[in-house]
Amino acid sequence: MKKNLILRLMLIAFAFTLHSCVHDEIISSVDPLSKEYHSKSVFKEDEKYIKNVMQVYQEHETDIKKINGTPLWDYAMTMGHFDESFLIVPVSDGGKIISCLQAPRNGDNITFISDNDREHITFFQKYTTLKNRKPIKSEKLTSQAAKGLAECSFTSVSMWYPQDEYGSNAGYWETSYIVTCPTDQGDGDGDSGNPTYPYPGGGGGGGNNNPEPETPEEDPCQKTKAIVNNPKMQAGLQELKNQSTAGGEKGIKFKADGTPSATITGTAHSVDFGDKTGYAGGYHNHTPSGIPMLSPPDIDQLLGFARAQGNYGNPSNAYLGMVAPNGMHYVIWFNGNYSDALTNFSQDQLNIYTKKYRDRESALSEDLNYVNYLGADLNTNGLEKLFFETLKSMGLEGKVNLQKIENDGIVKNINVNTNNQPISTTCS
């Protein structure tokens, strides 16, 4: 009897302790402001700014809060800003994202703006619930607006959508985007009624007071010389040159420092580089029966490398090279901004562009300006003409640069003159 009483008392004590622990956990889960900030972002964020904004929010929550819901500070994004100037944070109500809160800073003050943009809400609903996420890009963009230049912020994340909930590997990756601009911040009421408070970090860097210095453009000649002379890339390039005289295409991705991926085996006239995250570009070979010039699918692969430059990367560092029999060696570089890289072609569109590419090659072969004799394959002038006409038909004129590498290593920039004829300039 005594043992039973002791056992019952122990069970009661254990239950009370368990209740206390669960109660404390529930309080912690519904009151994120009681916790320290621990970033769950896939990007590097301006954590100093996030913590300072959190502090102001906690002190003035009653005045700031316009609707029910709790800011999920761990998922706050500063959208490529590192000058303590901007953040956006999702607001949750019972696990569902119901709005967002933006906090731009101008000088010594920060303003809290309610953001009910459906696209922003949808982005954060996915971002806060899907487990597997990869960073693609987070940067500030300058776009032409009706009243001058407006600095927008762009972030893209690749997220994994499983096909079931039972642990299988089936599913797919999909890229989601969020864009914020000064002109579309808030809910349409302008700055009136938006709570504004002194910024605890002090002034001297909010808004556009201290714009970041522009990164000087790299010499395209030096960029290509650095690639073709990189010791880490030599074995891979030679492998592809050897493959070019055989049947079938292969490809290799390269990181910014030249570190190669494993060789990717393609089909008779194509190779898919797959996931390009972490790689600056790639090289592949064409075959004796193929056209020794970059094709529409190749241009599409270049756009993929531009999109995959990673956090704070430069899309103009994306490249795609091609080697073919008889010493043919071309490389293309992306020359647009990140929004240009978002151009996306369906497989049906690529099939149409590829057919036009082949038809155009056939038509050019009937012009002695582009072949050495009728019935021959296109000469260098014809191949380069084919490339620029293809680029124009895809709506990417001026967004991709073409270079030719001679057998002796000399690099040439290829452009078109006012008559749309290819001209080359030898790099010094």
Q: Predicted confidence band at 361 (pLDDT cuts at 50, 70, 90)? A: very high
What is the pLDDT, as a whole number, of residue 71? 94
Q: Bridge partners of 189?
A: none
- Cα-to-chain-centroid distance, residue 266: 25
What is the pLDDT, as a whole number, of residue 65? 84
Q: Bridge partners of 322?
A: 284, 330
Whole-angstrom distance, CA of residue 400 vs CA of residue 394: 11
What is the pLDDT, as a whole number, of residue 423? 95
Q: Predicted confidence band at 344 (pLDDT cuts at 50, 70, 90)? A: confident
Q: In what order do the strands lie in the sheet with 133-145?
A: 133-145, 148-162, 171-180
What is the pLDDT, as a whole number, of residue 374? 87
Whole-angstrom distance, CA of residue 382 vs CA of residue 361: 8
Span of 47-51, 67-71, 307-311, 415-419 with lowest mean pLDDT = 307-311
What is the pLDDT, as a whole number, of residue 331? 98
Q: Write out pLDDT tens, residues 365-416.
A: 999 999 999 889 999 999 999 999 999 999 999 999 999 999 999 999 999 9
186, pLDDT greater than 70: no
How would DSSP label each residue in 285-300? E--TTS-SS--HHHHH
The residue behind tokens 């394959």 is 377
Span of 110-124, 276-290, 307-321 with lowest mean pLDDT = 307-321
What is the pLDDT, as a whole number, of residue 189? 40
Whole-angstrom distance, CA of residue 66 vs CA of residue 54: 16
One-letter amino acid at 5 equals L
Average pLDDT value for residue range 26-37: 47
Q: Write out pLDDT tens, residues 192-251.
A: 578 999 998 655 455 444 444 444 456 789 999 999 999 999 999 999 999 999 989 999
Strand ranges inside 56-147, DSSP E:
70-71, 88-93, 96-102, 105-106, 109-111, 113-115, 133-145
Report the mean per-residue pLDDT for the chain: 82
What is the pLDDT, as a whole number, of residue 24? 36
> Both tokens of residue 105?
């800073």
> Both tokens of residue 189?
């009421």
The residue extents of the domains of the chain are 40-182, 220-426
Q: What angle do CA 58, 61, 64 make, to 5 degrees?
A: 130
Residue 77, SS3 per DSSP: strand
pTM of the model: 0.55
One-letter amino acid at 305 equals F
Average pLDDT value for residue range 288-308: 94
Q: Bridge partners of 173?
A: 160
Q: Predicted confidence band at 11 (pLDDT cuts at 50, 70, 90)? A: very low
Higher per-residue confidence, 395 vs 28: 395
What is the pLDDT, as a whole number, of residue 323? 97
Average pLDDT value for residue range 83-100: 92
Residue 125, SS3 per DSSP: helix
Strand ranges inside 146-292, DSSP E:
148-162, 171-180, 196-198, 250-254, 264-265, 281-285
Q: Predicted confidence band at 94 (pLDDT cuts at 50, 70, 90)? A: confident
**From the CA atom positions of the chain, what is the Rg in Å?**
28
